[in-house]
Structure 1
Amino acid sequence: MPHPAQLVKSYASVAMILPMLLLVVCRCEANKLWELALEDEKEGKVVQVHVVHGSGHAWPPACYPGDPHARAAVWKHGPGVLTQHGRQQGFHFGENLRSRYLNFLPKERTYKYVNALTAKTTRSRMTSSMVLAGLLPPKDDDVWTITWPPAVVNVDDILANQHCDRLERLKKNVVYDTKSEELYLKVSSNTKKSVKTPLEMLDMYMCLDIQNQAGLPIPAWARALYSDMRREAAKGYQFDSEISRLEVGRILDTITKFNESEKGNNRINLYSVDNTIIGEILAALRFNQAEPPNSLTALVVEIREQHKRYHAQLWYRVGPFDDLVRLSWPGCSTRCSLTKLRTLLDPLIPKDWSTECKQIRTASSTADIVIISLVLLAFVLVYIATASGNRIYHYVTEFIARRKRSVKTEA
């Protein structure tokens, strides 16, 4: 029978090795590539792919006054710039796309069949470059001094956070359904920062989550509140048809508008956006979100041909190392015909975005006109009253003066 001391040593060795084994397993799972996109009689053939993906892990601003991780070494690349984690996430995502659509992309000059668009932010542009590096490994005579293919990334205004007066106005008037007053008080008290709405909670949670992804410990005060903060932050994405039209309507239009003549060239279309845009698209499609988008969250729309007819399939990836999950189109199915899908999305697609941004919401404008009218009316009444009062005062003063002069004259 082994000596107790030997048993203790054995258990200690196992205890030391087990976490290492778990870490290896986790890394293997993280590095596992996606399976090939299934193509058969039932699913149809992939003819075009649209991938809307968020940015990789990047340095956020200080979460709150006195944030202990605001100057951590992991942020050495600077504000809004991808960290090493973010670069690895982007490259791995590109590898996943390559693995899934290996048979769909040509073996040579692959970059000619991929169209990459990005928002203007540094993190979005860097993410797009990293995704392309993973998606388009050079082969044969495409290989040059380094194993990286030059691929064009175009900055696109539709993906940028363009200013829209009407959109800003609508967002300010959103009423959120929240009953977690105690949670907001606790978060505000611990951060010394006012947190009153799900959008403000979203900023706070995402900042903490980005730090957590970087391996920085969650502050003690936030550990017990973390899951509640996540759930409350997801409420920042609520459906409003007018907000959705102006926020993500043009993206929905782009990724569901299929041009048969272009299917041979634009085989994979990448859209690098801010992670919050993914949440806005899910809200526009009426999906209930239990948690906000994570680093490199992605929506994949596959246009497929089946019996000479086209339908769209929707896939979703929650976080940087998750697999794709197939979703049903709201009001349709997992395989929604393009004709029906365009009909369903029509109310969310602006006909003239710039013109709609200049319009004033009818209900709000009516209320504003009434308020402005009442203010002007009150001003006019005050002016009239003041002017009339002055005239009466001068008349009475002059009348009294005349009476006094008249009395003196008679005397």
Structure 2
Amino acid sequence: MLCNTLTMPSTFTAARRSIYFLLSCLVFLNVCFPLLGQSAGEKNLKLAIVVFRHGDRSPVQSYPNDKYKEDSWPDGFGQLTQLGINQQFELGKYLRKRYTGFLNETYTAQEVFVRSTDVDRTLMSVQANLAGLFPPTGRQLWNPSIPWQPIPVHTIPYANDYMLHITTKTCPRFDQLVNETVNSEIFNELKKPYLDFLKTLQNGTGYTFDQLVGQKGPYIWWILYDTLFCEKTHSFSLPDWATDTVMEKLHRLQLISLDAFFGVYKHHEKSKLMGGVLVKAVIENITQALTPPSKRKLIMYSAHDTTIGALHAALNVSNGMLAPYASCHFFEVYEIGNKSYTIEMYFRNDSNVDPHPITINGCSHSCPLEKFIELTSPIVVQDWRKECGFKADTSSDKVHALTIAVIILSIILFCLLVMLCFCRKRLKASYETV
């Protein structure tokens, strides 16, 4: 009994302390959880930049022994197909769903900027995309029978587009680097396991062995697989030699050719000359969009698999895979709190799953914008023409100098004319006086 009397107050005190502790936790949770919710709610999307590949297309060319030539395709080589139109329309609808509440329901010129390479399939792709993203409603419904509205798409000549058009033809130094890569020891080691396989392709393809393993070999591998892939996609009968095993090996060779283009050898310098140009544009776009009074919310780039490949190589997030038709890279800039910004990246390469988060090395997925700019600064080229090996363009200086010379000469002639008129008046006055 004595023991029970002594332990009761102790038990009561412990229970009271437990109750006080629970009440304190409830107060803490009631105070902190709304604050946490408020903090999360302060993450506001400010800008989205999307870079996507065109939709399904016909082959860009055929191989020598291919029985299907350009006239086998309704619109010729390299053209967007009906399947490609549907793929882009679906991507546009996905963008509408993803950015519901962020973008206006109707197209607004101040919010959206669209640019495409000057190629039929990319221009048509972005128009199909926009049809899914901005179907006309209200005053924009100009014809009830046509659920489409014209939206401006900007472009520049293909030969002058070194931001979205990735090719060796626009940059001599990049061309030199690719040639050095193809002749490098490391690339030869990658190619070596496939030499016997390449020999077996001569009769079927019409290419010589020297062509298949030579300087243009990587491009030929790409053409072979791409052409056969397009034909298979559109239910063309493939030649007997194009077995599943052959297609698998050609696909591996195509991936090696992609590596030769953007990596393997002097990856950093290649990144500056190609994908780094687009990264620089993205950073400039972000800076402009976050500067009042800009109302820009969405920037769209319609381009190619090589564009996305160069971008991923420059960001060093490449997974060694090709960008499929209508695949899309997302840059999303969020405002956190008061004038603090983060950037998130995603890659959508399958319409059946959510886009994959992409994280740049040295940062978290939701990367502070200042940190992102710092990490990407090594690949941002300041003078692209100089880095590419172009000689200084003095033509503009000559025009400028000529303009100044003409202006100076005009002023001198004008002064002489004024002096002549003044002298004639003086002479005439002197004559009348006499």
Provide the residue aligned with 1:169 in structure 2. Answer: 176
Query: Contact 1:58–1:81 (CA<8 Å) still a contact in 2?
Result: yes
1:268 and 2:298 are equivalent in the alignment: yes
Q: Name the CA shift for 1:211/1:321 in 2 (closer, same or farther; >3 Å).
A: farther
SS in structure 1 at match of 2:46: strand
SS in structure 1 at match of 2:154: strand
SS in structure 1 at match of 2:333: strand
Provide the residue aligned with 1:153 in structure 2. Answer: 153
Farther-moved stretch of structure 1 (346-355 vs 57-66): 57-66
1:215 and 2:215 are equivalent in the alignment: no
Deviation at 1:121, TM superposition (A): 1.4
CA distance in 1, matches of 2:312, 2:197: 25
| Counterpart code for 1:351 | Q
SS in structure 1 at match of 2:291: helix
RMSD value over aligned CA atoms?
A: 2.6
Deviations 1:8-64 (A, max 9, x none): xxxxxxxxxxxxxxxxxxxxxxxxxxxxxxx98189321101111111112224431
Query: Contact 1:230–1:292 (CA<8 Å) still a contact in 2?
Result: no
1:202 and 2:232 are equivalent in the alignment: no
CA distance in 1, matches of 2:110, 2:41: 30
Q: Name the CA shift for 1:195/1:210 in 2 (closer, same or farther; >3 Å).
A: same
Matches within 5 A, 1:228-377: 228-235=249-256, 236-237=258-259, 238-239=262-263, 240-257=267-284, 258-259=286-287, 260-261=290-291, 265-308=295-338, 309-319=340-350, 323-358=354-389
| Counterpart code for 2:148 | W
Matches within 5 A, 1:63-78: 63-70=62-69, 75-78=73-76
CA distance in 1, matches of 2:39, 2:71: 50
Provide the residue aligned with 1:184 in structure 2. Answer: 198
CA distance in 2, matches of 1:263, 1:134: 28
Provide the residue aligned with 1:389 in structure 2. Answer: none
SS in structure 2 at match of 1:314: strand
CA distance in 2, matches of 1:88, 1:346: 38
TM-score by length of 2: 0.68
Farther-moved stretch of structure 1 (90-99 vs 63-72): 63-72
Deviation at 1:70, TM superposition (A): 3.3
SS in structure 1 at match of 2:212: coil
CA distance in 1, matches of 2:309, 2:300: 17
SS in structure 2 at match of 1:50: strand
Provide the residue aligned with 1:55 in structure 2. Answer: 54
Deviations 1:297-331 (A, max 9, x none): 22111111122321111111225666411121223
TM-score by length of 1: 0.71
Q: Name the CA shift for 1:135/1:108 in 2 (closer, same or farther; >3 Å).
A: closer
| Counterpart code for 1:251 | L
Farther-moved stretch of structure 1 (319-328 vs 347-356): 319-328
Query: Contact 1:110–1:136 (CA<8 Å) still a contact in 2?
Result: no
Deviation at 1:218, TM superposition (A): 4.5
| Counterpart code for 1:242 | E
SS in structure 2 at match of 1:207: helix
Q: Of 88, 93, 108, which aligns to 2:91?
A: 93
CA distance in 2, matches of 1:207, 1:251: 28
Task: Work out which of the two has the higher radius of gyration on C-alpha atoms and give 1 or 2.
Answer: 2
Query: Contact 2:106–2:134 (CA<8 Å) still a contact in 1?
Result: no
Q: How many residues align?
A: 321
Q: Name the CA shift for 1:139/1:112 in 2 (closer, same or farther; >3 Å).
A: farther
| Counterpart code for 1:318 | N
Farther-moved stretch of structure 1 (112-121 vs 161-170): 161-170
Query: Contact 1:234–1:289 (CA<8 Å) still a contact in 2?
Result: no
CA distance in 2, matches of 1:218, 1:322: 31
